[in-house]
Structure 1
Amino acid sequence: MVIKLVFLGFLLAHAAVHLMFFVPKPAATPGGPTWPFEIGHSWALSPLGLAPDTLRVLGIALVAVMLGAYALTLLNALGLGPRGLWVAAAAAGTLASLAVLGLFYLPWLTIGVGIDLVLLWLILVSSWSPEGLAR
């Protein structure tokens, strides 16, 4: 039970960090770091001519998918829904997270990308399952 709760808490914390994409960008300071949670500019999509508003909609949609999928993971882990649904939901949420972090990548987001890759490996490759969660 403890491992399941730690896993779910970790997913919730990981999801909560993505909410920083909705926090207004603070004023820049001389010599200060670049704000890493900017969804109005994408290293991959901005050169293709996508407008900042379009990028924001895409970023918001990806974060919404991630939050919804992680919420479904949590609910399934608590016994709601078909057994084993948490695997697909957690994988979908993690893929959405990886997409938003990749499309709007700045070096500060590397830890999030690493977390997503480890989660995908645990869920899809190693077939790991927290105690009490059916696959």
Structure 2
Amino acid sequence: MNAVAHAVNLSKRLDTGITLLHIAKKDTEINELEQQLTAEAQKINETYNVKPACLVKEGSIFKTINQVAHEVEATLIVMGTHGMKGLQKLTGSWALKVIVGSKIPFLVVQEPPKSAEEEIKLVFP
């Protein structure tokens, strides 16, 4: 939900929409996950007064996130992460593996925004 809070702040500032994406491991999970994601979208709408679009796709986070981002013509991907744990310190984080193949900018967050008016500081290579 921290990523959602950041996405809401950005969408309001930039006058854009939000699409929630859930990646299913199996095609048979899609219907149930769509219902769950729709319920989450309703909670987000009630909390932030922003109604996100919902998508559930079968695949792998390492490829499908970027494929869907191109399909919906996303201008930014906001992704939450818990940080590196265990073997990820040696092999690299999942978030980093998702980002590597993307031409669309990512904002990876762990903490909630401090406020809706918070200045966002970005670092570019």
- Which has a greater percent of helix? 1
Bigger fraction of residues in strand = 2
Q: Which has the larger radius of gyration?
A: 1
Report the TM-score, using the length of structure 1 for normalisation.
0.32
TM-score, with structure 2 as normaliser? 0.34
